[in-house]
Chain A
Amino acid sequence: MKINEQTKKLDEIARQVRKNIIEMLVQAGSGHPGGALSACDIMVALYFSVMRHNPQNPQWRERDRFILSKGHSCPAMYACLARAGYFPLQELSTLRKIGSRLQGHPSKTDGLPGIEVSTGSLGQGLSIANGIALGLKLDRIGARVYCLMGDGEIEEGQIWEAAMAASHYHIDNLCGIVDNNGLQIDGTIDEIMSPNPISEKWKAFGWNTIEIDGNKMEEILEAFAEAKTIKRKPTVIIAKTIKGKGVSFMENAVEWHGKAPSKEQAKVALKDLESS
Chain B
Amino acid sequence: MVEMKATRDGYGEGLVALGEKNPQVVVLSADLTNSTRASMFKKRFPERFFTMGVAEADMIGTAGGLSLVGKIPFCCTLGVFASGRVWDQVRVTICYSNLNVKIGGSHGGISVGADGATHQSIEEITLMRVLPNMKVVVPCDAIETRKATIQAGEVSGPVYIRFGRSPVPIITTKDTPFILGKAITMRKGKDVAIFACGIMVYEALEAAKELDKKGISAGVINLHTVKPIDEEIIFKAAKETGAIVTAEEHQLSGGFGSAVTEVTVKQYPVPVEMVGIKDHFGKSGSPQELIQDFGLTRFDIIKAVEKVLKRKG
Contact = CB atoms under 8 A, between A and B. Distances in A.
29 contacts: A28-B114, A30-B113, A98-B284, A99-B285, A103-B116, A103-B283, A103-B284, A104-B114, A104-B115, A105-B115, A105-B116, A105-B117, A105-B118, A110-B283, A121-B80, A152-B53, A155-B54, A156-B55, A158-B57, A184-B31, A185-B32, A185-B34, A186-B29, A186-B34, A186-B51, A192-B31, A192-B51, A193-B52, A193-B54
A98 B117 CA distance: 12
Nearest to B51: A192
A182 interface: no
Interface of B: 29, 31-34, 51-55, 57-58, 80-81, 85, 113-119, 281, 283-286, 289-290, 293
Contacts of B289: 98
Nearest to A28: B114
Given A103-B116, A120-B119, A97 B285 contact: yes
Contacts of B117: 103, 105, 107, 118
A71 interface: yes
B118 A71 contact: yes
Contacts of B286: 98
A123 B285 contact: no
A153 interface: yes
Given A185-B31, A185-B32, A98 B57 contact: no
A100 interface: yes
A119 B58 CA distance: 20
A156 B57 CA distance: 8
Contacts of A193: 31, 51-55
Nearest to B29: A186
Given A157-B57, A185-B31, 15 more contacts: A31-B114, A97-B284, A98-B284, A103-B116, A103-B284, A104-B115, A118-B118, A122-B54, A155-B31, A156-B54, A156-B57, A157-B55, A192-B31, A193-B31, A193-B55
B54 A98 contact: no
Interface string A260-271: 000000000000
Contacts of B281: 109
A96 interface: yes
Contacts of B55: 123, 155-157, 193
A206 interface: no
B117 to A, nearest CB: 7
Contacts of A156: 54-55, 57
A29 interface: yes
Interface string A187-219: 000011100000000000000000000000000
Nearest to A123: B54
Contact of A104 (B29, B58, B118): B118
A103 B120 CA distance: 12
B31 to A, nearest CB: 5
Contacts of A120: 115-116, 118-119
Contacts of B32: 185-186
A184 B53 CA distance: 9
Most buried by B among A97, A99, A109, A193: A193
A123 B58 CA distance: 12
B290 A98 contact: yes
A73 B158 CA distance: 35
A119 B119 CA distance: 11
Contacts of B285: 97-99
A242 B289 CA distance: 36
Nearest to B50: A193
A30 B290 CA distance: 16
Contacts of B80: 121
Contact of A157 (B58, B113, B290): B58
Interface in A76-119: 96-100, 103-105, 107, 109-110, 118-119
B54 A152 contact: yes
A107 B282 CA distance: 11
Nearest to B35: A185
B116 A96 contact: yes
Contact of A121 (B53, B81, B283): B81
A135 to B, nearest CB: 24
Contacts of A100: 284
B57 A30 contact: no
Contacts of B283: 98, 103, 110
Nearest to A150: B54
